Amino acid sequence: MKHFLTLALGTALAVAGCGTPTPKASDTALSSTPAAAPAAAAPEAVSSAAVSTTPPAASSAKTTPATAAKAPAAAQPAFREVTIPAGTSLPLSLTSAIASDTSAIEDAVSAELTRAIVVDGREAIPTGTPITGHVTAVDGAGRVKGRAMIEFRFTSLRAGNTGYDVQAAPISQLAPATKGEDATKVGVGAGAGALIGGLLGGKGGAAKGAAIGGGAGAGVVLATKGQEIRLAAGADVSTALTAPLTIRVRAQ
């Protein structure tokens, strides 16, 4: 009986040992890994992706209004002021035409400088600088007396891209006198009349003819106007500054 119980107990123990599987090393590793561990790795991946998509630090060096304001300005040409003294002569060539019988007061007159103006050995106003003004007085030729005249004055010039007011002496042109020509015309008329009168009536006729011829010559003078003043484009004229002129010129 004891032998039977011992055998039954041993069989029961053997069966119990076979029913419980022996745990493997891999099963132990898997069971020991927390279930939340894979999920925890996701934020790290997202963080890494966010970092990788961030623009490199060099991109922050792009120019912004603030940095542009700090950038040095481009070098600008330097200028200096030069004063041209009163009395300086301005040799000019007209670029517009004027005449005593066609121009009127306030008509525009233009010209250009034919020689550079130099101050202290440096060119202050270059050749070809335009200068403008207007007619200030005009009178056409009269008969017998009243010589034609025209007067104009320059008031501004343009040097570079800047205009300047100019105070300059007026330029006046007066027609030449015709008294000598008038006397010749009267004398020729008188001589011709005397010759014709002498041929027709002796000495008395000559005297009468001279008087008649002289009157005819005078009539020609009365009917003839004096010379007009006409200045075409290209005519040379000259004026002078009546007050100092200060202009800006590029520094050399």
The pLDDT tens digits for 9-37 are: 655 555 555 554 554 444 444 444 444 44
- Asked whether the whole model's pTM tops 0.85, one would answer no
Beta-bridged to residue 123, according to DSSP, are: 118
Q: Show the tokens assigned to 83.
A: 């004063």
As a residue count, the chain comes to: 252
Q: How confident is the model at residue 224 (pLDDT cuts 50, 70, 90)?
A: low
Does the structure show a pLDDT above 60 at 164? Answer: yes
Q: For residues 62-68, give the mean pLDDT.
A: 55
Q: How confident is the model at residue 223 (pLDDT cuts 50, 70, 90)?
A: very low
The pLDDT tens digits for 176-216 are: 886 555 455 445 545 554 545 555 555 555 555 555 555 54
Cα dihedral: 98, 104, 105, 109 (round 10): -30
Of residues 116 and 25, which shows the higher confidence score? 116
Q: For residues 55-77, give the mean pLDDT.
A: 55
Q: How confident is the model at residue 116 (pLDDT cuts 50, 70, 90)?
A: very high
HSE value, Cβ hemisphere, 13 Å, CA-based, for 141: 18
Q: How confident is the model at residue 118 (pLDDT cuts 50, 70, 90)?
A: very high
Question: Three-class SS of residue 134?
Answer: strand
Q: What DSSP letter does each residue of 96-146 carry, written as one string?
A: S-EETTT--TT-EEEEEESS-EEETTEEEE-TT-EEEEEEEEEE---BSS-
